[in-house]
Structure 1
Amino acid sequence: MGIFGRSYAWRAFILACGMAWFGPAAELAAATLMTPGAADLIRKSTEPFGLSAWDLSFGAVRDKWIGVERKLDDERVQLALCDGDRDHCVSPAALRLLAIVDDARAREGRARLGEINRAINLAIRPMSDLAQWGEIDVWSSPLETFASGAGDCEDYAIAKFEALRLAGVSPDDLRIVIMRDTIHGEDHAVAAARLDGHWLTLDNRRMAMVEDADVRNYRPLFVIDQHGIMQYADAPLLARLPDRDAPSPVMLNSAAQPALISSAN
């Protein structure tokens, strides 16, 4: 080996020793600099649309969801009792919802999700909050929606969120996503379910479920899970893609009203 070869080998040896010495320290420093908030954002990057999200601690959307959560706590007790004893169930709304859940439980995977999406789309009439309640934006619990038989987009999404849980889908794989319709300038809500690592959206505007990567002309704003509501840290416009689906039998109410969640949805 010539002198240049020996010099190169020596430098390589010094470099290797340096990496071995400083490597663990660098990793430790990186771990120390990773604050809980930063780590939480990284963990949440598995949310629908692959965007990070942080907990929302205030605002009208959070207040509305907290109101729904309180009702859900009571309704889950009632649904559990009716599920265990249908003959003595005193809630026709619970029985109608559980009948949909029964059909979904008999299926697996994508077919289970599709059954919930299709059945709830058909069970609820699209109606604006203003027409139904005389208010701009009202979020109804599942049994309220099934008792009235009508609702708008967030009512469909909330009912699907609960029906999927009752049908056996893990709560970790369920979300409600609030998005901005950039074409019509309205907010819209859908349920989302994770299957084999991919998020499928269950939308009252269509019977076919669409993967989040294929959703177009919407800007994701908020995401709700079993733990609460989060706001997306980044909300890029989802580029336009021609919609090849046939018109859905579930049509929107044409009387749009300005609202937190548009009453037209």
Structure 2
Amino acid sequence: MGLSPYARAWRAGIVACGLAWFGPADLRAETPERSAPVEMPLQSPEPFGLAASSLSSGGLRDKWTSVQRRLDDEMVQLALCEGDRDGCVSPAALKFLDIVDAARLREGRARLGEINRAINLAIRPMGDLAQHGQIDVWTSPLATLARGGGDCEDYAIAKFVALRRAGLAPDDLRIVVLRDTIHGEDHAVAAARLDGRWLTLDNRRMAMVEDADVRNFRPTFVIGQHGVMRYADAPLLTDASGNNSVASLVVSSLATSASPPFERAD
């Protein structure tokens, strides 16, 4: 059986998604001897267990604030369409509501997986320059579905909103910006907490991956109900062999790079 157009587009678009260049950051990973007693620090409730501090300004915060304003309008449109689907004039709103309805029929991990799969197939991978004529444009879910295309942050935003409407608590939802240390690009994913563990919902794969199992990425920023936050430390998430050849960098490079020019690397 042949793949659907959406499935072909999704498979063809499994490429790195460039966001803003936030600058590299790392901590040197040191492993204590097994016999030595180690006092474990309290783990952060954020994905990847890292502490994060709020950003009061910067390009990333401005982009998210703009998305939130558009979300307010879209929530009104969704409410109207949900109350009168026959009279709804927005095909994008109806498609979004169908995705949420299908997810509500499932529980737990299956609910998250339903939204991850449906959003991945509903949006064609497409760079901002080709779609908007400029780089790094963040769009709200209905705008993305109406265009039919988007890049990694557009997928992540759509999943973030869909998961919330499907019943997940705000404290259990995030958007995480990660630095791809192999390709030198930034990538955004949605993250959802289930049974105390964070799962990442990535536009480049159907399977959800627990944050502890993510490799070759460095988490840099996290977005949630408390706004945009920057991770206080950003260790390299090494490959399965534990190879960490660039872990000698320090996190101070983040301090001056919260609002740089944006690059595309689609």
Give the shorter-chain TM-score range: 0.7 to 0.9
What does 1:201-220 align with in structure 2 at a 5 Å threshold? 201-220=200-219
User: What is the one-letter code of the residue matched to 1:140?
Assistant: T
* C-alpha spacing 1:43/1:168, structure 2 compared with 1 (3 Å): farther
User: What is the aligned partner in structure 2 of residue 115 from structure 1?
Assistant: 114
Deviations 1:26-74 (A, max 9, x none): xxxxxxxxxxxxxxxx998110000000101111111111110100111
Give the match's secondary structure for 2:203.
Answer: coil
Aligned to 1:176: 175
**CA positional deviation for 1:260:** 3.7
| Matching residue of 1:7 | none
* TM-score between the two structures when normalised by the length of structure 1: 0.76
Greater CA drift, 86-95 or 233-242: 233-242
Q: Distance in 2 between matches of 1:43 and 1:74?
A: 39
Partner of 1:47: 46
Residue in 1 aligned with 2:230? 231
Q: Is the 8 A contact 1:187 1:262 kept in 2?
A: no
What's the TM-score, normalizing by structure 2?
A: 0.75
Question: 3-state SS of the aligned residue for 2:220?
Answer: strand
Offset from partner CA, 1:193-231 (integer Å, 9 cap, x none): 000000000000100000000001111011000221100
Contact preservation (8 Å) 1:129, 1:263? no
Cα-to-partner distance string for 1:71-125 (whole Å, 9 max, x where unaligned): 0111111111211221111111100111111110000000000000000000000
Match in the other structure for 1:193: 192
Give the Cα separation in 2 of the matches to 1:165 and 1:133: 27
Three-state SS of the structure 2 residue aligned to 1:200 is: strand
Report what 1:81 is aligned to.
80
SS in 1 for 2:44: helix
Amino acid at match of 2:211: D
* Compared CA separation, residues 95 and 110, structure 1 to 2 (3 A): same
Change (3 A) 1:261 1:206: farther
Deviation (angstroms), 1:241:
2.8
Contact map agreement 1:182 1:218 (CA 8 A) in 2: yes
Distance 2:62 2:263 in 1: 13
Instruction: Establish whether residue 129 from structure 1 lines up as the match of residue 108 from structure 2.
Output: no
Regions of 4+ moved over 4 Å: none
- Aligned length, in residue pairs: 208
Structure 1 contact 127–263 (Cα < 8 Å) conserved: no
Task: Give, in whole Å, the separation in 2 of the partners of 1:79 and 1:263.
Answer: 33
Segments of structure 1 that go 5 or more residues without pairing to the other structure are 1-41, 243-258
Unaligned runs of 5+ in 2: 1-40, 242-260
Q: 2:158 is matched with which residue? A: 159
Question: Hey, what's the Cα distance between the residues in 1 that align with 2:136 and 2:116?
Answer: 23
DSSP 3-state at the match of 1:206: coil
Which structure carries more relative contact order (alpha carbon 8 Å, separation 6+)? 2
Q: Determine what percentage of the aligned residue pairs are the same residue.
A: 75
Bigger Rg, structure 1 or 2 = 1
Letter matched to residue 48 of structure 1:
P
**Does the 8 A contact of 1:137 with 1:263 survive in 2?**
no
Superposition pairs of residues 31-46 of structure 1, within 5 angstroms: 45-46=44-45
Deviation at 1:240, TM superposition (A): 1.1
Paired with 2:54 and 2:186, the residues of 1 have a C-alpha distance of 20
Partner of 2:244: none
Report if the CA contact (8 A) 1:172-1:225 is conserved: yes
Residue type at the aligned position of 2:55:
L
Task: Give the AA of the match of 1:172.
Answer: D
Q: Supply the distance in 1 between the matched residues of 2:104 and 2:224 (Cα, whole angstroms).
A: 21
